[in-house]
Amino acid sequence: MGPPSFRKVRSAKSFTLKQAGWKLLEGHRLKIGQTVYKFAKSREMDGTVKTVTIKRDPLGDLYVYFSCVVEPQPITRVMTGHSAGFDFGLTTYLTGSDGTMHHAPQPLQSSLKAIAQANRHLSQKKKGSCNRRQAQRHLDRVHKRVANQRQAFHWQLAHQLCAAYDSLTLETLNLQGMKALWGRKVSDLGFATFVETLHAVASKTGTLIQHIDTWFPSTKLCSACGWINQQITLRDRVWTCGDCGTTHQRNVNAAVNIFREGASSPGGIHVSQASACRGC
C-alpha cells in the first residue's frame, strides 16, 4: 500500500448546487462562491431555477445546466390536416409517402473524412508522447463536432415534421438487421436517436407518432395492387410491379405502404401500446 493519494480534480465530471452557494446575476453571469463566471446562454429559462449543475465533458469544456420547475402547460396544437408515412434510407434519410425527401446534411459526410484523418494521425504518434495526447484531443474534438452536427439535424428535422403533420407513421427500426445490410453507416446516421428526438418533440407539439411492425414488408409490397416482389434487392432504387406494371420509386413506395398500414390501424391492431404515443 502506498501513501494515500489525493483525488484528482480532473476525475470529477460534475457537481450540483441546490438552493445555496450560487446566484444568478444580470448579463449571463453566475456567481459560485465568491467567483463570478460568464456563460453563453443557449435558451431562455422558464419557471423557477431549482438546481444548478456544472458538467465537464472529456474535452474539458464546461457546461452549466439549470433545472427549472415549470407549470404544466396544456398542448395547444393547430391541426394541419396532414399525415404521412416515412421510410428510412441511406441515400435519402427520410422519404415521405407524399413524396417529400429529407437528406442528411452534407457536413456529416465531410466530417467522417476528418475523423479518419485524425485517427490516422493518432496512430502515427509515439505512445505516451505529448504529441499523441494532442492528437487524441484533436480526435475527440472532431468526434464532438460530428455529434453536434447530427444532433442539430435531428432536432431541426423533428421540429419540421411535427409542425407539418398531425400524425406520422414510421417503421419500427430493426437496427441489427439494418447494420447487417448496410454496415457502419447506419450508426453514423443515428436513426434510433432521431426516433427518440422525434418522440420528445411530438410530446410537446401533440403530434401522433405510430410505429408499424418490423416485419411488415413495406419495401416488397406494390402499393398499387398488393403484389409482393420477392426478387427486390438493395440495389433496386426503381422497380416495376410484375402484376399491375406500375413503376415504383423504392422509398416512396415503401413510405406509402407504411402510411397506409398506419392509417388502417389507428392506435390499434399492428401498433403496440408502448410504441404508439400521443405525447408519450
Which residues sit at the interface with Zn ion, rule CB under 5 A? 222, 224-225, 227, 241, 243-244
- Name the residue nearer to Zn ion (CB basis): 155 or 216: 216
Residue 33 CA, distance from chain mean position? 37
Q: How far is the CB of 228 from Zn ion (least distance, A)?
A: 9
Of the candidates 151, 226, 168, the one whose C-alpha atom is nearest the C-alpha of residue 202 is 168
Of the candidates 211, 181, 184, the one whose C-alpha atom is nearest the C-alpha of residue 196 is 211
- Name the residue nearer to Zn ion (CB basis): 161 or 241: 241
Q: How far is the CB of 49 from Zn ion (least distance, A)?
A: 59
Q: How far is the CB of 256 from Zn ion (least distance, A)?
A: 12
Q: How far is the CB of 220 from Zn ion (least distance, A)?
A: 11
Residue type (1 letter), 163? A
Residue 153 CA to residue 196 CA, distance in Å, equals 13
- Name the residue nearer to Zn ion (CB basis): 205 or 253: 253
82 and 164 Cβ atoms separated by less than 8 Å: yes
- Name the residue nearer to Zn ion (CB basis): 48 or 240: 240
Residue 195 CA to residue 176 CA, distance in Å, equals 16
- Name the residue nearer to Zn ion (CB basis): 177 or 242: 242
DSSP result, 74-118: PP-------EEEEEE-SSSSEEETTS-EEPPPHHHHHHHHHHHHH
Grid cell at residue 116: 479518419
Q: How far is the CB of 260 from Zn ion (least distance, A)?
A: 14
174 and 249 Cβ atoms separated by less than 8 Å: no
- Name the residue nearer to Zn ion (CB basis): 200 or 232: 232
